Amino acid sequence: MKLSTRSLTITGLLGAITIILGATGLGLIPVPTPAGRATILHVPTIIAGILEGPVVGTFVGLIFGLYSFTTAPSALAKDPFVSILPRLLIGVVAYYVYKLGGKNVYLSSVLAAIAGTLTNTVGFLGMAVLRGYLNWHAAGGIAVVHGIPEIIVATVFVVVLVKALQKRYAH
């Protein structure tokens, strides 16, 4: 597999944005729910999948997962099966779901944002359950409290960014 200079550059750029969002706290948007904040750290991975395809999406997801793993505050997130493995799939799922939306960039972006966010939430929490850190009831509660605001916030960001980036950097 050979990546183009463009693909490598976008991987590095979106990976760096992921790290900056996490390190500065800018990737944690305050929301009026018990969760208190919604993460957008997965948004660069969704954008990578949409704009550059599943391989670049996987690499940006790897950067996201490694960042989460190395900065994890709990044993749950220090498990690479929980913090890294699901993140590898975010960009892949976003890419294929985006393609299902056809030529309608708005619809495709909305669907990809929802699917990518669900991949992150369900993948992380599902692995946490499978690895014995949480039970299904607790994971379901967390998914609802965190997942809904994260879907909304990610959808807004993805739609706006994809529309703007596609105009500027069309293949």
Give percent above pLDDT 90 in the chain: 76
Q: What is the pLDDT of residue 29?
A: 83
pTM recorded for the entire structure: 0.92
pLDDT score recorded for residue 2: 83
Residue-wise pLDDT for 83-113, tens only, equals 999 999 999 999 999 999 888 999 999 999 9
For residue 70, pLDDT beyond 80: yes
d(CA 17, CA 83): 18
Residue 56 maps to a domain:
yes
**Chain centroid, CA 116 distance in Å:** 6
Q: How many domains are there within the chain? A: 1
- Establish if 171 belongs to a structural domain: no
Q: Which residues contact 146 (CB under 8 A, 6 or more apart)?
A: 35, 38, 39, 121
pLDDT band at 170; cut points 50, 70, 90: low
> For residue 68, is it within any domain?
yes
pLDDT tens column, 18-68: 999 999 989 988 877 666 677 899 999 999 999 999 999 999 999 999 999
Q: How confident is the model at residue 76 (pLDDT cuts 50, 70, 90)?
A: confident
- Please report whether residue 120 resides in a domain: yes
User: Does 65 map to a domain?
Assistant: yes
Residue 104: its pLDDT value, please? 92
CA distance 120 to 7: 22
Domain that residue 80 falls in? 5-162
Q: What is the mean pLDDT of the chain?
A: 92
The residue behind tokens 């999406």 is 57
The domain spanning residue 60 has which CATH number?
1.10.1760.20
Q: Which two tokens stand for residue 57?
A: 């999406």
